[in-house]
Amino acid sequence: MDFLLNEEQRSVQKLAYDFAQKEIAPSAREHDEQGTMNWEALKKMGPLGLLGGPIPEEYGGSGFDYISFGIICEELERAETAFRVIQSVHVGLNSLTLLQWGTEEQKQKYLVPQARGEKLATFGLTEPGAGSDAGNVATTARKDGDSYILNGSKLWISLADIADHFLVFASLDRSKKHHGMAAFILERGMDGLSTGTIHGKLGVRAGNTGEIVMQDVRVPKENMVGEQGEGFAVAMSALDWGRFTVATGAVGVAQACLDASVKYANERQAFGRPIGKFQLVEQMIAKMVAGIETSRLLCYRVGWMKNYGMKTTRETSLAKWQACNVAFESANDAIEVHGAYGYSSEYPAERYLRNSRGAVIYEGTREVHTVLQGEYALGYRHDKPYRCPPPPAPGYERKDMYDATSALHYPFAFPVQAEEGMTPKPRN
């Protein structure tokens, strides 16, 4: 087992850290207060290869491995959550999903300009009436000749009002629930497609979140990703990418909480000594360290598995759940360490708290991940392979550890052995 980052991973870490600290961090507070995107910084990311990090070079990306991709998310969110959100929806949920499921034509038409940073992409699953219950989407898709006609709306969609491309999920037959869904690529400018922005959010104020409305949008059949009835599987596989970015980003914001708290605890004096000398303050710092290090290890394990093309649903859910809790608790403690100053936007802790709160909800609420982990442990849930398995990182060979007993075979084995012949089943 090797815990060292390799040369490429270290150079990506330096690239992402330098970019985030120079281009994002100095104006993060201002953009958060004004509710504006930092377009200047965003425009520089494409040429640096940061909008297609893990996408192979043949499709316009940088060809980084998935640990490097996680490190990019970590360093970006250490500066400002809105920039990690771009990694989550543009790179993770959309581009990597096209890499996994898309046809060659879809990859050339949509993935290549996305990976180069020429087009911005997002992912629309959530609806006004369906979030955690994602198999219950009310958006419909009706076949009409060589096209599908989409009607419905998506809500709480990151980048909705600024993206060029949308990966949306619709039902072909609502009676079949999640077995009746399909995924489609939509483009801004299609007749009947409109978007809007949500105002008054608690956090991620420097990022766009909004709605997508579809009124008789005609989508060519070539824009279906996967097959009819495969939409739910495409969406869940997308979340395996997206949740990884959310988890690694959460490590970054927790690290930012620690950085700020250590600095302040060494500077602030009370009762004639630095507050860091008080054990109850030390305890909060120590808790952050433990949370950050355990979450980072969970994240790097997922990155390692992804490098070899393994399905990571259970491991990614665990990393996302833990890292997001750690980030939120670290931000709450960072405010405490800062006392009243923590309650002011003069210091970053209150922004970290507001920004880390959303990640406990999106890409699976903490309750949903708690239930998932319980179900895996109890044998009620067992992952099946996707028809299109996740692509290994460029330069890596798939390790075929994914089968009905996958978790028992790789070195981080889940310690529950299914009885001979027993097939654990989902609860319903």
List interacting residues with ligand FAD (CB under 6 A): 89, 122-126, 131-132, 156-158, 204, 209, 358, 361-363, 365, 367-368, 371
Least distance (Å) between residue 328 CB and ligand FAD: 13
Q: How far is CA 172 from the centre of its chain?
A: 27
CB of 370 to ligand FAD, least distance (A): 8
Cβ-closest residue to ligand FAD?
A: 131
Tell me how far apart the terminal alpha carbons of the chain are, to the nearest angstrom. Answer: 38
Residue 56: CB minimum distance to ligand FAD, A: 24
What three-state secondary structure class fits 217? strand
How far, in Å, CA of 252 to CA of 256, rounded?
6
For residues 298 and 322, is the Cβ–Cβ distance under 8 A? yes
Longest Cα separation, the chain: 79
Minimal distance, residue 119 CB to ligand FAD, in Å:
16
d(CA 183, CA 260): 42
Q: How far is the CB of 159 from ligand FAD (least distance, A)?
A: 7
Give 9's contacts (C-beta < 8 A, 6+ positions apart).
Answer: 65, 67, 68, 71
Nearer to ligand FAD among residue 122 and residue 312 (C-beta): 122
For residue 337, the number of C-alpha atoms closer than 13 Å in the C-beta half-sphere is 35
Do 127 and 139 form a contact (C-beta atoms < 8 A)?
yes
> Contact at 8 Å (CB) between 79 and 20?
yes
Burial of 297 (0-12, 13-18, 19+ CB in 10 A): middle
- The count of C-alpha atoms lying within 13 angstroms of the C-alpha of 413, restricted to the half-sphere facing its C-beta, is 11
CB of 20 to ligand FAD, least distance (A): 20
Measured from the CB atom, is 232 or 304 closer to ligand FAD? 232
Contact present, 271 and 161 (Cβ < 8 Å): no
* Closer residue to ligand FAD in complex, CB, 243/338: 243
Residue nearer to ligand FAD on the CB measure, 204 or 247: 204
Which residues lie closer than 8 Å to 345 by C-beta, 6 or more apart?
29, 32, 33, 351
Catalytic residue among 363, 375, 397, 420: 363
Tokens describing residue 312 = 């990571």
Coil/strand/helix, residue 191: coil
Smaller CB distance to ligand FAD: residue 120 or 125? Answer: 125
Q: Which is nearer to ligand FAD, 126 or 330 (CB)?
A: 126
- Residue 77 among the catalytic residues: no
CB of 325 to ligand FAD, least distance (A): 13
Quick one: 150 or 157, whose CB is closer to ligand FAD?
157
Catalytic residue list: 363
